[in-house]
Amino acid sequence: MNVADLLIFLRQEVGHRAYISRLDLLDQTASLIKARLYIAPELFIQVYRNDRFDSTNLVLIHNGQRLYGRDQLGGKWHRHYHTAPDRHDTSPAGQQPVTLSEFLDEAETVLASMGLP
């Protein structure tokens, strides 16, 4: 997943997922993108990709707190599971690479388990 592809995927997901109310591009260059997919005013998914440093951050945030996340640094992935969002899950499941679509599916599951919209 690179910045150019991620921008395309972001726009596609907004069109396919009715619960996403808007896409905000916070920063974008040829090698970097930072965006938010808003579900509600204080509930969003923040997406960050830096091609230069080969890093990706996908985070579900509610009221300024991380609920769930997946990070990729230098080609290695880890997960921040919703029951312990400050810990790094480096289990085999936590290290699995994810696409934006797969992360959104996971975030939907977390939201449903927490009774959030």
pLDDT in tens, 71-84: 999 889 999 988 88
pTM of the entire predicted model:
0.94
Residue 8's H or E segment, with its range, is helix 3-16
Q: In what order do the strands lie in the sheet with 22-28?
A: 22-28, 32-40, 43-50, 55-62, 65-73, 76-80
pLDDT of 51 strictly over 90: yes
Domain residue spans of the chain: 3-114
